[in-house]
């Protein structure tokens, strides 16, 4: 453990009281969500970033559990001073619906039977996973995430969020992913599922009480999938045609090559930490993923409002750069703000979990809060010019604010009133807002840089500025506290 780690962490659990209606029309009750958080949520609740995990990941994205030999799966980018800086952001990561790492899935107890769901668990989609994540985010009182980031299946969740909850994030980063599963991707997943089905210990999903886990089937499924996560170059560099614990070929069907031993090891380790039925459900959710509307991804992305950075890996043949470019082109067709980066690596698909330097550079550059729109408070309290001072004081107390823009009926800025103005009214005996408000108010635009606004605030000794559009309609507020937190 080092100073760049969030240190010892623990997994928490959120219970959803209401029923969850799935895309299939079926209902899930008593859903629990396993999650972890890193960093502190600011008082405006504007600094939260949701991290979405890949196919067989979990909520433990960073830090260390007591007694662990290795940290969370994305330790390379989450922590103090890293791209997902926990001194600046509040990071949330949850296990997906259908998983086996604490969130309700097929290995969970069915409240109606008192036994594990098994195949009685309904088929879920990426959309269903995101719906459950939304419940968790809402529980923090967060009305808009600063960003959502995820790779592979996590990238699919990011895209689903962008489409289904377009106002819930300022920025989005889908990494090494696709907007729909291709026939080849579906084929690989299906072969993995068939390996599990063919294991006699699978017992049609009812293996929890037998004491016999479908180890061979799940191990084989993992071996098949793991091949797709690597590249030919990475396998050649790592293994070549090297022999495993022998000097010459045995001319039988035992393990001859290092790559064979490696895959067997990966399968064996995976069986110890993952549930076979969860593997079936999660891969099926990936297969069903398709964001096209009327066979058009351009139409599918019409609801999107976030700024987007799409990242691919040049050696990834599971989710190749071509699929990332389809996302970029479809977002561009909707005149959205989108950028693209490509990780240069011989690691293949797994590069998004391994390339520390490139990932931190790309994410830091995109997530840096360099314009007003990125950190301003939205949905703020405003007041009309004909209001009295008591109305303003009451509003300040209710909303816990010290500055309130004064606006016309069509929401155009005409002044500002502060807690100091309200205090001053007591001494002067004023009762009407227009008698104390400042009419020569300084303001800024959403596209102004933070550096420009910081200089203006210092020059005029201002602690809060209204943010307006070209018609002088109020969009939000930006404060010196927000800027200080950013700069620190």
Cα diameter, the chain: 101
Q: Which two tokens stand for residue 65?
A: 């559990």
Q: Which two tokens stand for residue 329?
A: 């082109």
Cβ neighbours around 429 below 10 Å, total = 7
Q: Would you call 141 helix, strand, or coil by DSSP?
A: coil
Do 358 and 343 meet the contact criterion of CB atoms below 8 Å apart? Answer: yes
Q: What is the DSSP string of 26-51?
A: -EE-SEEEEEEEES---TT---EEEE
d(CA 272, CA 276): 10
Cβ neighbours around 469 below 10 Å, total = 14
Q: Which two tokens stand for residue 68?
A: 């662990």
Residue 81 per-residue DSSP state: T
Distance of CA 22 to the CA centre of its chain: 20
β 48-52/90-94 pair status: parallel
Residues annotated as catalytic (active site), given as ranges: 152, 316, 349
d(CA 208, CA 195): 18
Distance of CA 232 to the CA centre of its chain: 30
Q: Which two tokens stand for residue 240?
A: 């070549």
d(CA 349, CA 314): 9
Q: Which two tokens stand for residue 271?
A: 């069986």
Residue 388 per-residue DSSP state: B
Q: Would you call 470 helix, strand, or coil by DSSP?
A: coil
- The helix or strand, by DSSP H or E, that contains position 283, with its residue range, turns out to be helix 276-288
d(CA 327, CA 163): 12
β 413-418/307-313 pair status: unpaired
Do 397 and 355 meet the contact criterion of CB atoms below 8 Å apart? Answer: no
d(CA 354, CA 77): 10
Helices and strands (H, E) in the chain, number of each type: 16, 16
Among the listed residues 311, 485, 453, 471, the one whose alpha carbon sits nearest the alpha carbon of residue 373: 453
């Amino acid at each position: 453990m080092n100073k760049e780690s969030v240190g010892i962490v623990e997994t928490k659990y959120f219970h959803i009281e209401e029923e969850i209606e799935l895309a299939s029309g079926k209902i899930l009750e008593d859903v629990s969500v396993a999650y972890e958080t890193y960093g502190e949520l600011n008082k405006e609740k504007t600094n939260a970033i949701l991290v979405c995990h890949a196919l067989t990941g979990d909520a433990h994205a960073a830090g260390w559990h007591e007694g662990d030999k290795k940290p969370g799966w994305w330790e390379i980018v989450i922590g103090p001073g890293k791209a997902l800086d926990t001194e600046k952001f509040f990071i949330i990561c949850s296990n997906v619906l259908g998983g086996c790492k604490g969130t309700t899935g097929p290995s969970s107890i069915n409240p109606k039977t008192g036994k594990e769901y098994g195949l009685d668990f309904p088929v879920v989609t990426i959309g269903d996973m995101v719906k459950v994540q939304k419940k968790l985010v809402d529980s923090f009182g967060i009305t808009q995430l600063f960003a959502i980031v995820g790779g592979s299946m996590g990238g699919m969740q990011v895209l689903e969020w962008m489409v289904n909850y377009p106002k819930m994030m300022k920025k989005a980063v889908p990494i090494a992913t696709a907007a729909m599963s291709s026939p080849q991707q579906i084929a690989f997943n299906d072969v993995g599922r068939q390996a599990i089905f063919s294991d006699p210990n699978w017992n049609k999903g009812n293996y929890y009480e037998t004491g016999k886990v479908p180890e061979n089937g799940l191990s084989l499924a993992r071996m098949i999938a793991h091949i797709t996560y690597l590249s030919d170059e990475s396998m050649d560099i790592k293994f070549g045609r090297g022999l495993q614990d022998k000097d010459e070929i045995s001319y039988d069907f035992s393990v001859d090559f290092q790559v064979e031993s490696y895959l067997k090891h990966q399968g064996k380790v995976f069986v110890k930490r993952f549930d076979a039925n969860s593997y079936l459900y999660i891969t099926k959710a990936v297969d069903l993923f398709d964001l096209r509307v009327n066979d058009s991804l351009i139409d599918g992305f019409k609801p999107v409002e976030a700024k987007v950075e799409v990242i691919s890996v040049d050696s990834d043949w599971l989710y190749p750069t071509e699929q990332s470019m389809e996302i970029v082109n479809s977002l561009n067709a909707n005149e959205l703000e989108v950028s693209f980066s490509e990780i240069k690596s011989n690691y293949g698909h797994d590069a998004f979990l391994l390339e520390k330097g490139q990932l931190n550079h790309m994410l830091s550059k995109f997530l840096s809060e360099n314009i007003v729109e990125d950190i301003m408070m939205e949905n703020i309290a405003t007041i009309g010019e004909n209001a009295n001072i008591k109305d303003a004081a009451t509003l300040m107390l209710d909303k816990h604010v010290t500055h309130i823009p004064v606006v016309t009926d069509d929401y155009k800025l005409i002044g500002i009133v502060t807690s100091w103005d309200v205090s001053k009214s007591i001494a002067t005996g004023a009762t009407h807002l227009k008698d104390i408000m400042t009419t020569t108010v300084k303001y800024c635009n959403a596209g102004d840089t933070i550096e420009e606004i910081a200089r203006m605030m210092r020059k005029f000794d201002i602690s809060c500025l209204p943010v307006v559009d070209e018609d002088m309609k109020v969009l939000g507020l930006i404060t010196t506290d927000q800027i200080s937190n950013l700069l620190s």
